[in-house]
Structure 1
Amino acid sequence: MSSPDTQAPLNPLPPVVVALFLVILGVEATFFLGSRGLVGGPMAVGWRTAAIQDYGYNADVFRWMLQNNVWPLEHLQRFLTFPFIHGTFTHALFAGVMLLALGKFVGEVFAQWAVLALFLLSGIAGALIFTLFAGAQPWVIGAFPGVYGLIGGFTYLMWLKLGQMGEQQYRAFTLIGVLMGLQLVFGLLFGANSTWIAEVAGFGAGFILSIFLAPGGWRRIHQRIRRN
């Protein structure tokens, strides 16, 4: 037994979650310093807009690639770069806080590589599903689709836990229900855009991916296949 005096008061954050947060923070700090004229000179004021144009996900660009069967790397990379570009400091702040909170919980159960895969693949899935419904606003930026994927992982873990305890498993979906309710309220008050589609799709992808990425996931699948 370890002495209470030698234990940290808080469990450390998973390294991969810290790394993702630092990338978001670093990009946002660069935009902030540039907008204040502290780095980059006069052109730095437009760094955020230029980054959205060059690294944000655009549904129209993907449709063009699909129709012409042309897949330039400069556009494919958008699937991996858009989660780190945000529209405002507040946007980045809320995404970063949720990333730390959900990433800590999921990262205490999942392997480090699995957390990264969950975040990135959920973001990609969210962008692809968004493409099917995108209207006049074709852009997706920010970490929220990936963060909602982590919420999907959190929900899956809670679903398993409630099942093991013999309790009603639908309660695992309380968090996503509350978040969707808040989305609806803010949409009615301030107007909504279609990027919520990417977030909901990210959640769904995260839940499904967690079946395979969670510890023992493949073993549980094999057992069910054998039983059937």
Structure 2
Amino acid sequence: MVVALFLMILGFEAAYTLGSQGIVGGPQAVGWRQAAIQTYAYNADIQRWMLANGIYPFEHVIRYITYPFVHASFTHAAFAGVILLAMGKFVGEVFRQWAVAAVFAGSAIFGALAHGMVAHEQPWLMGAYPGVYGLIGSFTYLMWLRLGELGERQVRAFSLIGFLMGLQLLFALLFGGDSMWIADVAGFCFGFALSFFVAPGGWTKIRAKLQQRG
């Protein structure tokens, strides 16, 4: 599943990059990336319009699933792909394939929803990062469990997300920030929370605890 997601990101990005350089697709290929952004990237203004009118056209709803595969640049896609492979390797060794897909897709959707509720100045959202941060949330969950089994401080499991958020803050201070971090944080939180249910034996443990309290 992780390899499939990576290949999808790589395939689309290869088409946009090669097209922008005139290597494939002819003259019209120069605008492929911009066309993809307009058609498949997520837009908070569109979400607010749908909620206000109670109308949900498929062409806009599908953006919640397609925006992770549209990136602003080759570097943007490359970093997302590298982190996806790294986190996906750890999570995929424990989670089933459908659970990995659920974490990635669910985190991307939840991240977009959260972004749309807050972002006003920068409505566009694109890239795999919210889904990737969801996998970081699952990785954190596994580390959290492991540290608990070892009797160590479980708060250490959140060191990675703390480091990444600190790095984003640093870049924001140096180069100016945007509202995309909202989707990343929301994706992380969703991935961490969903892991309690989709991890092997996770739902069984939760149901047992609820029965004990009942």
Q: TM-score range by the shorter chain?
A: over 0.9
Q: Does residue 94 of the first structure (1) align with residue 68 of the second (2)?
A: no
1:193 shift after superposition: 0.1
Q: CA deviation at 1:227?
A: 2.1
* Aligned sequence identity (%): 65
Q: CA deviation at 1:78?
A: 0.2
The correspondence for 2:7, drawn from 16, 22, 37, is 22
Residue 101 of structure 2 is matched in structure 1 by 116
Unaligned runs of 5+ residues in structure 1 are 1-15
Paired residue total: 213
Cα-Cα RMSD: 0.6
What are the ranges of 5 or more consecutive residues in structure 2 without an aligned counterpart?
A: none
| In structure 1, C-alpha distance between the alignment counterparts of 2:173 and 2:201, rounded to whole Å | 42
Distance in 1 (alpha carbons) for counterparts of 2:53 and 2:108: 24
Match of 1:66 in 2: 51
For residues 88 and 149 of structure 1, the distance between their equivalents in structure 2, rounded to whole angstroms, comes to 22
Q: Does 1:79 align with 2:52?
A: no
Give the counterpart letter for 2:183 in structure 1.
A
Shift of 1:38: 1.8
Is the CA contact (8 Å cut-off) linking 2:44 and 2:120 kept in structure 1? no
Distance in 2, Cα, partners of 1:51 & 1:222? 43
2:199 match: 214
1:39 positional shift: 1.7
Q: Does 1:179 align with 2:164?
A: yes
- C-alpha separation in 2, matches of 1:213 and 1:186: 34
Displacement of 1:29 in angstroms is 0.5
**1:142 equivalent in alignment to 2:127:** yes
Cα distance in 1, alignment partners of residues 171 and 20 from structure 2: 28
TM-score (norm 1): 0.92
The Cα of 1:184 is off from its aligned counterpart by: 0.6
Q: 1:105 aligns with which of 90, 97, 118?
A: 90
**Residue 153 (structure 1) aligns with:** 138
Q: What residue number does 1:168 align with?
A: 153
Distance 2:157 2:205 in 1: 19
Distance 2:137 2:17 in 1: 31
Q: Report the TM-score when normalising by structure 2.
A: 0.98
Distance in 2 separating the partners of 1:227 and 1:178: 37
Larger Rg: 1
Give, as a single letter, the amino acid of the residue that structure 2 aligns with 1:195. Answer: M
Residues 108-144 of structure 1 deviation map (CA, whole Å, 9 limit, x = unaligned) = 0000010011001000000001111102110110000
Work out the CA distance in 2 between the residues paired with 1:32 and 1:132: 32
